[in-house]
Structure 1
Amino acid sequence: MASVDQQRAQRGDLRVIDTRAELDAAVTKLADGHGPVAIDTERASSFRYSDRAYLVQMYRRGSGTFLIDPLPFGDLRDVAAAIDSAQWILHAATQDLPSMRELGLDPTDMFDTELAARLLGKERVGLGAVVNELLGIELAKAHSADDWSTRPLPDSWLAYAALDVELLVDVRDKLAEELTAAGKADWARAEFADVLARDLAPRTAEERWRRMSGIQQLRSPKQLAIARSLWFARDAFARELDVAPGRLIPDRSLTAAARVVPRSRGQLASLDKFTGKASRSELDRWWEAIKSGMVDQNPPTRTPSDPSTPPHVRNWERKRPEAHQRLQLAKPAVADRAEQLHLPTENLLTPAYLRQVAWQGTASTPEEVARELQALGARQWQIDIAAPVIAAAFVEAH
């Protein structure tokens, strides 16, 4: 028996919108539909330099399914205007919103089916698992990691992409019913609004180079300077080729070279851990970057510690034992409360917020804890539940 996506492909009605006339017709149909709009994007960040969307899928009852190639259009602001008053449904919105916003697709009202599933305490929250549980349909995820910059896109890929949105409205309806029944609908609305308010723009280059795999093994300023120089050289080359940087040379190869501090081009070439598609073909490029790092007059240091930012938890008992005790009692208390509410602990309260309040040690009453959590960015429903639990733990710690 053919799978659902195979059946969809065999229907032969999958078309990619890539002309202005087709897009204008789609805009009209979307505006004439009713209810929320399901939206998804397909990217190629494992293959291409950017995280841009190479396909945008939409479905609305009364309108149908639309598979839009955004490349010929520059932006999709006309599409956004047509559905601006509708609720937009996404799954794992933080993954799609940055590339959507680049196209002018920025919702004002959103329902995130993955986040809803988390708030309901579901064990598996991937789209396939949620669709299977709620609709009894098994989705194949065979094309989730494919290169969506490919043109033309195969019909089997388009079928996969279409199903991601065609089932999403039904999933949203069932999740909304469950949220209401569980008394969590208001929590969900607050969480969706928080996601929409976040700045999800990509990190700056200065932040990104420090997040290379293996960077924690580099101790000296010279090693860090070499790693930074290699990262920027790779980034510039990847941008020029429109290739994902890791496909040229993986992070760990860059940090391995920086750790060794090679003294010659030959030594660099002989490093077993310096691997990757362009590790040898562009050896001169990497050697020049290493030489530049070695003579850097302003080498970076390990990320300077902000006195207001807690150190790693393993150092608390030595540096601030009273904070360690607060955290040791508050952390399981919050986890227990989350379990009672059938919530993942991190959805009841961002772990970093609890660490910050415990480290500061300036709050002991529920009201004081609430004010600090609010300043950190916790939502009111989280504060109402977590603040009394944390305050009680802090009192016990004393």
Structure 2
Amino acid sequence: MSNLHGHQTPPIARQNDIPMTPHSLPPYVTDQSALESLCHTLRQSPRLALDTEFVGEDTFIPRLELIQVATATTAAVIDFPAVQANGSLDVLWELMCDTKIEKVFHAGRQDLDLFTLHAGQVPKPFFDTQIAAAMVGYGAQVAYANLVQRLHGTKLAKAHTFTNWSARPLSDDQIAYALEDVEFLLSIHTHLQDRLKTLGRSEWVREEFARLETVVGEKNREPQERYQRIRGWDTLKPKGAAVLRELAVWRETEARRRNVPRGRVMRDEVLLQLARHPPKSVNDLRGLRGVHSSEVDRHGVQLLAAITSALALPPSAWPEVPSERKPDPESTGIVELLQAVLKARAAEEGIAPTMLATSADLQTLVEAKQNRTVLNIPILHGWRRQLAGDVLLQVLDGAVTVSVDRTSGALRMNAGSS
């Protein structure tokens, strides 16, 4: 594997080769006593490698099935339903909230969501190896198995990729497979920490973890912005968007109460139709295409209450809806130029372009410069601005021009004038 400067990076060692479980500690924890013993041992380590297995197709809150954990010398799988059925997991949640212990995940967004839900707060400090890997040249959203193979030269098994983790009993092979998800994490963490330090990017990754912590924390609060995840919301007028917002909050509350998926309460397209053509009575509800009588019988009064509440709002309380104006050809050309500059800067620094900005971000940046409005997008903050944001602004201002190097064919940034 080549590093950012073209040299070959040798495979790194596992965390103490393999995280061995002491004979006195069962690797498969199914009761509170064993969990307490495990947590006592885990507290001796400065960091924990963590992963989860869960089932979420049929519930609003994913059902946590397994928690895999490892230190440099200990590894175990915690059977969440088994422990919960006969005891408490409070000792585990206390461990997750211990700020003296770093929690290490790979692509840990969903794991953090689950731990935050059960522990009552975001487990911190934490380290996400997928985010860190993207910062040091391994590409955006690199899979754990790919990272293990590149760094360790080990190909992980795929035999239990589609295992139903809610089925019991689990076989020894399944437990061993689950443990692989944490087996290499701490050694990968050490390698990435070293690379970040060498490249001077430790602060960058801390910024990203802080952003993720904010996102996870906000998800577990009141879902006032959930309506923006409904496809087509931005085609509504502001008044209709206000109706959709209230309906989405109602659905979120109902889905959480019943612990069923949102779509099982009411589908997105039905909410969108109700927002576009707000009914005034139960009979109006029954006349809408796609709205079943059973849904009206069950939710009609609540739906009308949510709609009435939204319609009573003053225009100042309506959501802002993005403009439907299509970008003109000139703006499109400028965005494409910025994309080329962004890719060039990303290639120079060995970082995935998508870590810096999206096409939508660049479009927004161009429109804001044209309209002389103030922006709050990631590319204009922190390490992203340092790496590429300032250059993009200079290109837009004419302070930097772009040319093609005759020899290499690469883009070259030159001090220029408008």
Alignment of 1:288-367 (within 5 A): 288-292=301-305, 295-296=308-309, 297-298=311-312, 304-305=319-320, 315=326, 317=328, 327=335, 329-349=337-357, 358-361=366-369
Structure 1 residue 114 displacement after superposition: 0.8
Equivalent residue letter for 2:57: S
Structure 1 residue 169 displacement after superposition: 2.3
Structure 1 residues 288 and 200: CA distance shift in structure 2, 3 A:
same
**Counterpart position of 1:6:** none
TM-score by length of 1: 0.70
Q: RMSD value over aligned CA atoms?
A: 4.5
Is 1:65 the counterpart of 2:81? The answer is no
Q: Deviations over 1:162-197 (max 9, x none)?
A: 32212322433444455567x365365434553465
Is 1:394 the counterpart of 2:373? The answer is no
Q: Distance in 2 between matches of 1:106 and 1:335?
A: 34
**Counterpart position of 1:94:** 109
Q: Is the 8 A contact 2:96 2:124 kept in 1?
A: no
> Could you tell me which of 42, 50, 70 is aligned with 1:30?
42
Structure 1 residue 343 displacement after superposition: 1.6
Structure 1 residue 359 displacement after superposition: 4.5
Q: Distance in 2 between matches of 1:304 and 1:154?
A: 49
**Counterpart position of 1:5:** none
Equivalent residue letter for 1:112: D
Alignment of 1:155-166 (within 5 A): 155=171, 158-166=175-183
Structure 1 residues 333 and 87: CA distance shift in structure 2, 3 A:
same
> Could you tell me which of 121, 131, 143 is aligned with 2:148?
131
Q: Distance in 2 between matches of 1:151 and 1:77?
A: 24
Structure 1 residues 212 and 165: CA distance shift in structure 2, 3 A:
same
Structure 1 residue 251 displacement after superposition: 1.6
Structure 1 residue 15 displacement after superposition: 2.0
Identify unmatched segments of 5+ residues in structure 2.
Answer: 1-25, 402-417
**Counterpart position of 2:386:** 384
Is 1:250 the counterpart of 2:267? The answer is yes
Structure 1 residue 250 displacement after superposition: 2.6
Q: Is the 8 A contact 2:47 2:102 kept in 1?
A: yes
Identity of aligned residues (%): 22
Aligned residues: 361
Q: SS state of the match for residue 140, structure 1?
A: coil
Q: Is the 8 A contact 1:41 1:57 kept in 2?
A: yes
> Could you tell me which of 105, 109, 112 is aligned with 2:128?
112
Q: Is the 8 A contact 1:17 1:67 kept in 2?
A: yes
Q: SS state of the match for residue 85, structure 1?
A: coil
Structure 1 residue 62 displacement after superposition: 1.5
Q: Deviations over 1:301-341 (max 9, x none)?
A: 695449xxxx56955549xx8x8786554343122211232
Q: Distance in 1 between matches of 2:365 and 2:241?
A: 35
TM-score by length of 2: 0.67
Structure 1 residue 115 displacement after superposition: 0.9
Q: Is the 8 A contact 1:190 1:379 kept in 2?
A: no
Is 1:15 the counterpart of 2:38? The answer is no
Q: SS state of the match for residue 198, structure 1?
A: helix
Structure 1 residues 373 and 60: CA distance shift in structure 2, 3 A:
same
Q: Deviations over 1:245-271 (max 9, x none)?
A: 223333223324544556876775676
Structure 1 residue 241 displacement after superposition: 2.0
> Could you tell me which of 204, 212, 224 is aligned with 1:206?
224
Which stretch shifts more, 103-112 or 238-247? Answer: 103-112
> Could you tell me which of 228, 234, 240 is aligned with 2:257?
240
Is 1:76 the counterpart of 2:92? The answer is yes
Q: Distance in 1 between matches of 2:140 and 2:241?
A: 43
Structure 1 residue 89 displacement after superposition: 1.4
Q: Distance in 1 between matches of 2:254 and 2:159?
A: 32
Q: Deviations over 1:63-92 (max 9, x none)?
A: 2224252743356344247x7434321112
> Could you tell me which of 206, 218, 231 is aligned with 2:248?
231
Q: Distance in 2 between matches of 1:196 and 1:292?
A: 35
Identify unmatched segments of 5+ residues in structure 1.
Answer: 1-12, 365-370
Q: Is the 8 A contact 2:49 2:103 kept in 1?
A: yes
Q: Is the 8 A contact 2:48 2:70 kept in 1?
A: yes
Q: Is the 8 A contact 1:233 1:286 kept in 2?
A: no
Structure 1 residue 25 displacement after superposition: 0.4
Structure 1 residue 59 displacement after superposition: 0.7
Structure 1 residues 111 and 211: CA distance shift in structure 2, 3 A:
closer
Q: Is the 8 A contact 1:326 1:393 kept in 2?
A: no
Structure 1 residue 286 displacement after superposition: 3.4
Q: Distance in 1 between matches of 2:263 and 2:27?
A: 33
Structure 1 residues 193 and 59: CA distance shift in structure 2, 3 A:
same
